[in-house]
């Protein structure tokens, strides 16, 4: 499949924007992938946008996971236990998502974006246990939270990091740095599960996914460089991005409501 020149340019622009925001604020940027694919690139089928986004999310997460693993910031036993049931949840969620009308799915996606925006505005606590290990006390919470976040991630085709990080911290008490590194195990696993499920139904645009990834790498490098310069204003950056998420979500609610109303 080849993309028209306009879609090629818009796809590159969208991918670089997602990568830039990921590099700048360290998370949350992937939530923009689906609305950018639908409303800017012009992907007509919302399910294709979600399936394609899941590919980009999984590969980006895997690259970041490698960096955190080398730095020793991944609590592997806890991360794998969380991801184990999460993969089941992601498969169930993505299967259900394919059954939902595309415009209704976008409307629900917009509501999740608003929730993510509020999560970004919250300050994360610093009380933590750096020597946390997998135990009988935290195994059940890890499995339960893993399934729940996996189901949401699969249903909407998002990375789910902003849900996974606080869930890991709540279940185990691990520091945020380890929660971020460990969350990438699940983000990668959930993204691959969702992408595979959508791909089996022919709902992945592999050319667009490749463009998003290549442009996203370039955008991520630029965002990371700017983040180093603006490290003292990270809270302000999060507020600005959360505001943008709110605006995009409201626009999606408006467009989806019109589309649903015209059909009914």
Q: What is the pLDDT of residues 235-248, one digit of tens each?
A: 676 677 778 788 88
Q: Please name the residue that has the structure tokens 């935290």.
A: 138
What is the predicted pLDDT for the residue at 143? 97
pLDDT tens for the chain, 264 residues: list them: 566 778 888 989 988 888 787 666 656 666 788 899 999 999 999 999 999 999 988 888 888 788 788 888 899 999 999 999 999 999 999 999 999 998 888 898 888 888 877 876 775 555 556 678 889 889 999 999 999 999 988 998 887 777 788 889 888 988 877 888 898 899 899 999 999 999 999 999 999 999 988 888 888 778 767 766 765 665 676 677 778 788 888 988 988 888 887 765
pLDDT 10s digits, 131-158: 788 898 899 999 999 999 999 889 988 8
State the pLDDT at residue 189.
94
What pLDDT score was predicted for residue 91?
97
Q: Do residues 128 and 63 make contact, with C-beta atoms less than 8 angstroms apart? A: no
Distance CA 216, CA 244 (A): 19
The HSE-up count of residue 230 (CA atoms within 13 Å, CB side) is: 16
What is the secondary structure of 52-81 as a DSSP string? HHHHHHHHHHHHHHHHHHHTT---HHHHHH
pTM of the model: 0.82
Tell me, what's the pLDDT at 26?
A: 58
Cα distance between residue 16 and residue 110, in whole Å? 21
Confidence (pLDDT) at 196: 96
Q: Is 108 helix (H, G, I), strand (E, B) or coil?
A: helix
From the number of C-beta atoms within 10 Å of its C-beta (0-12, 13-18, 19+), residue 185 rates as buried
């Amino acid at each position: 499949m080849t993309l028209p020149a306009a879609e090629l340019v818009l796809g590159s622009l969208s991918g670089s924007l997602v990568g830039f925001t990921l590099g700048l604020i360290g998370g949350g940027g992937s939530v923009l992938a689906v609305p950018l694919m639908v409303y800017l690139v012009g992907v007509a089928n919302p399910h294709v946008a979600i399936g394609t986004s899941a590919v980009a999310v999984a590969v980006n997460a895997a690259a970041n996971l490698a960096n955190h693993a080398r730095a020793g910031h991944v609590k592997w036993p806890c991360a794998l236990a969380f991801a184990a049931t999460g993969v089941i949840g992601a498969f169930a969620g993505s299967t259900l998502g394919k059954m939902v009308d595309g415009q209704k799915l976008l409307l629900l996606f917009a509501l999740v974006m608003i929730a993510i925006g509020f999560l970004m505005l919250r300050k994360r606590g610093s009380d933590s246990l750096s020597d946390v290990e997998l135990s009988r006390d935290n195994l059940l919470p890890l499995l339960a939270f893993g399934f729940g976040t996996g189901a949401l991630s699969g249903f909407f085709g998002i990375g789910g990091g902003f849900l996974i990080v606080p869930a890991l911290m709540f279940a185990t008490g691990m520091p945020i740095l380890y929660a971020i590194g460990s969350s990438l195990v699940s983000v990668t696993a959930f993204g691959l599960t969702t992408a595979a499920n959508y791909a089996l139904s022919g709902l992945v645009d592999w050319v667009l996914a490749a463009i998003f990834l290549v442009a996203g790498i370039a955008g991520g490098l630029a965002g990371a460089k700017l983040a180093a310069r603006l490290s003292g204003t990270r809270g302000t950056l999060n507020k600005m991005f959360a505001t943008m998420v709110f605006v995009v979500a409201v626009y999606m609610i408006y467009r989806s409501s019109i589309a649903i109303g015209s059909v009914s």
